[in-house]
Amino acid sequence: MKLLKVDGLNSFYGESHILFDVSLHVDRHEVVALLGRNGAGKSTTLKSLMGVVRPSAGTVALDGVNIAGRKSHAIAQAGVQLVHEDRRIFGSLNVEENLILAGLTATGRWPLDRIYQMFPRLKERRGNRGTDLSGGEQQMLAIARALVRDPKLLLLDEPFEGLAPIIVRDLVKVCGDLAAAGQTIVLVEQNLAATLELAQRIYIINNGHIVHHGSAQEIKANDEILQRHLGV
């Protein structure tokens, strides 16, 4: 059953045409990754799904309802959460206040205990302000703020970027646990090993066009695809 179906998505930044007829789908309880070189259009795709960038054409169907063109807060209410690359936590609030605030307008909130079970480090740091957290802890909080709203679809933009390998390992485990529990995820990430470990299917985007689509196993087994489209 398709949770998300994107057809013919075109997006611009000002006069610059960034996405060209992007089409993709995500089944319920599936992890799908979007790979591509820097500037290929990966983050713009996520922002277009979330309404941060307003697509100029195309449809974004969530559970069969077109949400393309809606404001971000309306798309969030429909069940989509985007964890931005720059995390966007409230630095002046502590961990628990960040979580409570994120859940205020959610219809099906996660209890804080469930968040703390998934992120024991946040429980230890729950009285600390956002600015006092390490980069890895801030990323955990950014993901936790999205999860507290019990999203149908979780969009992760470069969640492992700039983090120490041990933190990446912990976050990959959390994402794997989420996927095992049935969370639907779309992941944009430069860390190829982590991406191939988590995702079932991969789309590769280049210059705003989807240039390849296949299973993670197929892409793992075919170095030529990675060389051609990602230069790795």
Nearest to 41 by CA among 75, 10, 86, 81: 10
Q: Give me the residue spans of the domains in the chain.
A: 31-51+69-230
Note the pLDDT of residue 232: 56
pLDDT score, position 107 = 85
What pLDDT shows up at residue 76? 95
pLDDT at 227: 86
| Per-residue pLDDT, 64 | 96
Homologous superfamily of 31-51+69-230 in CATH? P-loop containing nucleotide triphosphate hydrolases (3.40.50.300)
- Averages of pLDDT over runs of 10 residues in the chain (232 residues) are 95 95 97 94 97 96 96 96 93 97 91 96 97 95 97 97 93 94 96 93 96 93 86 66
Give the closest residue to 43 by CA, choosing from 211, 189, 214. 189
So what's the pLDDT on residue 229?
84
